[in-house]
Amino acid sequence: MTSDLPLSLRLYRGVSAALTPAAGILIRQRLKQGKEDAARIDERKGISALARPPGPLVWVHGASVGEILAAAALIEHLRAMGISIVLTSGTATSAGIASRRFPPGVIHQFIPYDSPRFVARFLDHWQPSFGLFIESDLWPNLVMASNERRIPIIIINGRMSPRSYRRWKKAPRTIGALLGAFDMCLAQSDGDADRFASLGSPHVFTTGNLKFDEPPPSGDPVKLDRLNAMVRGRPIVVAASTHPGEDEILIDAHRRLANYFTALLTIIVPRHPQRGADIEALVEQAELRPALRSRGELPTAQTDIYVADTMGELGLFYRMTPVVFMGGSLVEHGGQNPIEAIKLGAAVVHGPHVTNFADTYEQLDNHGGARMVENSEMLVRQIGQWLADDPERQRASAAGLKVVRSLGGALDRTLAALEPYLLQLRLESATDA
């Protein structure tokens, strides 16, 4: 494959190889920032302290928490078939989630830095039977080395946003070479499939979004009971996965809605928990009373806005509210995934910027399961309507659930597409036995 690579990828390979000795500098910087696990730094260099299990082994890669959780049911299905799994991701948070979420036989490793030497070590050690890349986290050396070793690699739950598509269209030979290294691409939607095919993916099929088949996020019942005891009887709105620029709008919306719903509690769950103190300051500037979950504070009768600046607790807050605003949508981020909130019974409000989940929101909006608002005025009006009219809110919730259920089935379609590869593993296992 090397001689056929476009100049961009040949240069990338050369530069990344030359920079390998400087990896230690990057590692030290990331350690200072809390972005690496000091005990597992060797994994970033392709070195594992764990032995490869015998027999077939499937390699599953996802960038971070969202991708890993999207493929959780698939991973568990493969493990139930007796297949060992090495699961790679790039963030410390995803490592923690993996350790808690998956059964024995699912081995988590940090993805090596994309240096030819580190990638070679990783592949030499694990020798995967085939690889599944979740969505579109394409590290060039990792992709190229897998292809050169004739390791089948497949994109699952493939997503190619219009923004990414436009960016890749400016480098057609580069993306064409990367996508052409994959045996198959299983896309979330027809739109994603069209974009992948246009950029050079062979054998593209629409299988649906695996996230529709995932159970809703859990919520610790003890923590939930304690929170509900503190807020019993109050109308509650959750603003989930908010981004900078949205919190000010939500705080203002709370102030205006509180004129009509005097006991209103707004729970803001920032996408990045480290922003908790900044949001608290905004609440105080608005002369409202905040409480910060990262400090162990609970919402009292005096709390106006509860800043839930912790990780992995959205399942708690979705269970407390009938109305959810999905963040990343009033600013040009591309929106956040509404599926979990809907599965837990919420009616969803969102802004106009939802390109990351355009197909999902289109279905929800068209069937009344979600409502799009373009500005703060519309936000206040829509939330107020649902808080005041519970039957109308319940109809929206039911419509959202119906849409989510109709869009399920991606797991079965993905397994059907992977059957030839799984059959090969079964044959290899029978031969080894």
Catalytic residues: 67
How far apart, in whole angstroms, are the C-alpha atoms of residue 353 and residue 374?
A: 9
| Burial of 263 from C-beta contacts in 10 A (0-12 / 13-18 / 19+) | exposed
Using the CB atoms, write b or e for 194-230: b if 16+ within 10 Å.
Answer: ebbbbbbbeebebbbbbbbbbebbebeeeebeebeeb
Distance of alpha carbon 299 from its chain centroid, rounded? Answer: 28
The residues near 3 (Cβ < 8 Å, ≥ 6 apart) are none
**Beta-strand pair 265-270/370-372:** unpaired
User: Which amino acid is located at 136 in the chain?
Assistant: S
| Strands in 344-403 per DSSP E | 347-350, 370-372
Q: Are 69 and 212 in contact (CB under 8 A)?
A: no
Provide the total of helices (H) and of strands (E) in the chain, helices listed first: 19, 14
Task: Output the CA torsion sign for 85, 91, 93, 96.
Answer: positive
The residues near 86 (Cβ < 8 Å, ≥ 6 apart) are 57, 58, 59, 60, 107, 108, 109, 126, 128
User: Which amino acid is located at 32 in the chain?
Assistant: K
Give me the count of residues in the chain.
433
Q: Are 240 and 327 in contact (CB under 8 A)?
A: yes
Whose structure tokens read 């829509």? 382
The residues near 420 (Cβ < 8 Å, ≥ 6 apart) are none
Q: Which helix (H) or strand (E) holds 242?
A: strand 236-242
Using the CB atoms, write b or e for 18-30: b if 16+ within 10 Å.
Answer: eeeeebeeebeee
How far apart, in whole angstroms, are the C-alpha atoms of residue 270 and residue 66?
A: 15
**In the 8-state DSSP scheme, what is residue 4?**
G
User: Which amino acid is located at 182 in the chain?
Assistant: F
